A and B are shown apart, each in its own frame.
Chain A
Amino acid sequence: MRKLLKPREREQMLGTAYAFPMGIWFTLFFTIPLGIIVLYSFLKRGLYGGVEWEFTLDAYKQMFNPSFGRVVIRTLWISVLATLGCILIAIPCGYAMAKSKYQTVLLFLIIIPFWTNSLIRIYAWISILSTEGFVNSLLIKLGLIDQGLKLIYNNGAVVLVLIYMYLPFAILPLFTTIDKFDFSLLDAARDLGASKLEAIIKVMFPNIKSGLSTAFIFTFIPIFGAYTVPLLVGGKDSTMIGNIIVDQVSKTRNWPLASAFSMVLTFISLVGVFWMLYNGKREQMQSKKTTQQSLEQNIKKHHLIRGEK
C-alpha cells in the first residue's frame, strides 16, 4: 500500500528533488576540480608539467621561499588597501543612493560596467593612464606638466584599477543595508549632543555592520586572487599570488606548487566566509533570544492580568 505523505514531508521531499540538478552541477564542476587541486598539491612535480603519483610535501615547502614571501606580503597589502579604498568610496555612494530619488537609475549605472568584458575595461584604464594617455595629455595641454608622468605599471595603478573593478561589489551590499537604516537615528544622535561625525561613527556604523562585513568579503576575496589587473597595469614588482599560480601552471610547469598556492587562497577566503557566517549567526541568535524572552514575558504578564499562576 502506498503510504500517504503529510504535506510538510512532501514539501521536504520535493525540495531535495529540486536541489538535485544543482547538486550534480556543483559536484561535477566545483567539488571534483577542487579535490583534484587538493590532491595535486600533495603530489610530486612532473618534469614537463603534470604530476607524478608520489606523496610529498615539497610544494608546501617550496612556498617558504623569500621571493614568494614577498609576493604574499605584497598581495596582502595591495588587497587590504584596495578593499579599504572600495569600502571608503562605497559608504558615501551607498548613502547617497539610499537618499536619492533616482535609486533605480543609479543602481542601473552601477550594474552597466558588468556588461563589458573586464579585460576591455582594464585596457581602457591603460589608455587613460599610459604615458601618452588621456590624463597625461590633458595635464600637458593644461600646461601643468612638461613631460608625461609615470602613472601606470606600478603598484599604485594596480590598487587604483582593482578599486575600480570591485567597487560595485562593495556598493551593492552597503547600499542595501544603508537603505534599510533609519535615518531619524542620526537626527536623534545630533539632538542628544553628537557632532555629525560622532553620529555617523557611533550610530550609523554599528547599525550597518552586516553591510560592511559583506562588502569586505565581496571585495577582499576576489581582489586577493586577482591576476589580470597586476599583469596588465602592474610593473615588474606588482606580482600577486594569482600571477604566481598562472606562472607555475603555464611557464614553470610546477603544478603541485600552483595547487598549493591555490589552497592558500581558498583557505584565506574560507576564513573570511566563516567569519561572516559567524557574525550573521550571532546576530540571528541574539534576535531569536530576544523574541523568545519577550514572548515569555508577555505570556507571564497575560497570566498576571488574568490572575492565573
Chain B
Amino acid sequence: MKGVEVTVEQVSRAYGDFKALDNVSVQIKKGEFFSLLGPSGCGKTTLLRIIAGFDYPDNGKVEFDGKDILPLAPDKRQSNTVFQTYALFPHLTVYENIAFPLRLKHVDKEEIDKKVKEYVHLVQLDDHITKKPSMLSGGQKQRVAIARALINEPRVLLLDEPLSALDAKLRQNLLVELDELHDKVGITFIYVTHDQSEALSVSDRIAVMNKGKVLQIGTPYEIYEAPATRFVAQFIGESNTFPCTVLSCEPYENEFMIKVDVPMLGGTVSVTDYDALEVGSKLDFTVRPEKVRITSTPPRSTNKELNTYKGIVDEPVYSGFQSKFYVRLDNEQKSIVKVFKQHTAFLDDGPEIDWRDTVYVSWTATDGYLVKDTDR
C-alpha cells in the first residue's frame, strides 16, 4: 500500500469562544477512502486544514504512520489537497498547473514532461493541456486540480468538498471516477462533504460530525442502518423520530425485544435492539420512511410484532422514482409519519393512494431502532 495511516488524537481547535473541533479522535487506515461528513460549521473542513497544515490545533496529535506531522509546514507534508474552489493558477496553462509542483522541485524537463503527460492521461485531459483554467468546464477544472494534487505522489489526498460546485449529474459521474482513481493510485483519501449520498456511495468508512464532535465512525451501512445518535439518524437519509420511554426489555432470538411507550404515536411500539436497555430510560424511537409500508386496508400479516397505525394522507409528494406521503395519524397528537412508496405493480399494494385517503402505515419491530439524543 502506498498510503499512510492517519491518526488524529484528541484534537481541539477553538476560534475565540467557538469550538470548531472539540476533542476529536479519528483513526484512518492505510489506503482507505475515508469521509468526514457533517453540516456546514461542524468542523470537518477545519480538521482537513489541520491535516494539510493550513491550520494548527490548540492541542492534540496528528500523525502519519505514527510520525508526528504537526511541526511540518504544509509544503513538507506527504499530503496534497484538492480545494473546494479548485484553486487552479489562472495565469498558467493546464500543463503548467500540473507541472507546478515538479518545477518547484527542479525536476529535469524530460522527466516533468513524461510525468505531466502520464497524469493528464490519468484524468483524461489529453486534449486540453494548452488551455488556461478559465477555458475549462467545472468538471475539467476539478480533474486538473486532482492531477496537480496527485503528481507529487502524496500518500494522503485531502479532498475539500471537491464536487460541491458541480451540477448533480456531473457530480455522480465524477464520484464514480474518483472511486476508480482511488483504486488505481491506492493512497489514503480523506474526503470532506456535507452531502450524505456522496459519502455513502464512495466511502470505505465515514465519520459523522456535528458541532466540532465526531458522533459516529463506521461503514456507510452501519451509519445508515444503525445510527448512534438522533442527529446521525436525521442527518443521514430521512427519519421519523419520536421521543420514547422504555417499558420492558426481553431477550428475543439473539437480540432484545423492547416495548417502548411513544406518546406521539399514541401507544406502545415494539422494536428490537442488540443491547439490553434499562426500563424507564428516555430514548428516541426512529424508523426510516422507506421501511414503512402504506396501504389502503389494514395489512394482513402473521408477524405479531408489526406496528400498525391508521391515518390520513396529509400531503403526497410525487418524485418519479417514488412518492413521499406525509400521513397524519388518527390520534390525539395528530403526529406526522413520512412514508416512501415505490410505484411498482409487483408489490401489489392495492389501489393508488391519493390526498385525503384513509391509510394504514405499518413497520416491523426489526426495522425500527432506538437512538440516544446526545444533542438535547
Binding site for B on A (CB under 8 A): 182, 184-185, 187-195, 198, 202-203, 206-207, 286-287, 290-291, 293-294
Contacts and interface: CB of A to CB of B under 8 A. Distances in A.
Contact of B135 (A194, A203, A294): A294
B165 interface: no
B134 interface: yes
24 contacts: A187-B54, A187-B87, A188-B83, A188-B87, A188-B88, A190-B53, A190-B74, A191-B52, A191-B79, A191-B81, A191-B149, A192-B75, A192-B80, A192-B100, A192-B101, A192-B152, A193-B75, A193-B105, A194-B104, A195-B75, A202-B104, A206-B91, A287-B134, A290-B134
Contacts of B80: 191-192
A207 B132 CA distance: 13
B75 A184 contact: no
Contacts of B85: 182, 184
A291 B135 CA distance: 7
Contacts of A286: 132
A157 to B, nearest CB: 39
Given A192-B152, A198-B104, A203-B89, A184 B74 contact: no
B73 interface: yes
B90 interface: yes
B30 interface: no
A190 B149 CA distance: 12
Contacts, number: 68
Interface in B51-107: 52-54, 73-75, 79-81, 83, 85, 87-91, 100-101, 104-105
B264 to A, nearest CB: 47
Contacts of A191: 52-54, 74-75, 79-81, 149
Contact of B75 (A194, A290, A293): A194
Interface string B135-153: 1110000000000110010
A185 B89 contact: yes
A190 B87 CA distance: 12
A232 B112 CA distance: 58
Interface in B216-265: none
A42 B163 CA distance: 68
A184 B83 CA distance: 8
Which 9 residue pairs are nearest across A and B when measured between Cβ atoms?
A188-B87, A206-B91, A192-B101, A190-B74, A184-B87, A193-B75, A191-B81, A294-B135, A290-B135
A293 B136 CA distance: 10
Contacts of A203: 89
A130 B134 CA distance: 55
Contacts of A294: 135-137
A251 to B, nearest CB: 51
A294 B91 CA distance: 17
A295 to B, nearest CB: 10
Nearest to B128: A297
Contacts of A182: 85, 87
A185 B75 contact: no
Contacts of B89: 185, 188-189, 203, 206-207
Nearest to A298: B137
Contacts of A189: 89, 100
Given A190-B73, A191-B74, A207-B91, 4 more contacts: A191-B81, A192-B80, A195-B75, A287-B134
A195 B53 CA distance: 13
Contact of A187 (B74, B134, B136): B74
Given A193-B75, A193-B101, A195-B75, A188 B81 contact: yes
Contacts of B132: 286, 290
A297 to B, nearest CB: 8
B8 to A, nearest CB: 18
Nearest to A188: B87
A187 B104 contact: no
Nearest to A194: B104
A192 B148 contact: yes
A289 to B, nearest CB: 9
A91 B61 CA distance: 37
Contacts of A287: 134
A133 B100 CA distance: 53
A198 to B, nearest CB: 6
Nearest to A209: B91
Nearest to A286: B132
Of A182, A190, A207, chain B has the most CB atoms within 10 Å of the CB of: A190
A83 B28 CA distance: 54
A170 B95 CA distance: 34
B75 A187 contact: no
A293 B135 contact: yes
B46 to A, nearest CB: 14
Nearest to A301: B137
A294 B132 CA distance: 11
A177 to B, nearest CB: 13
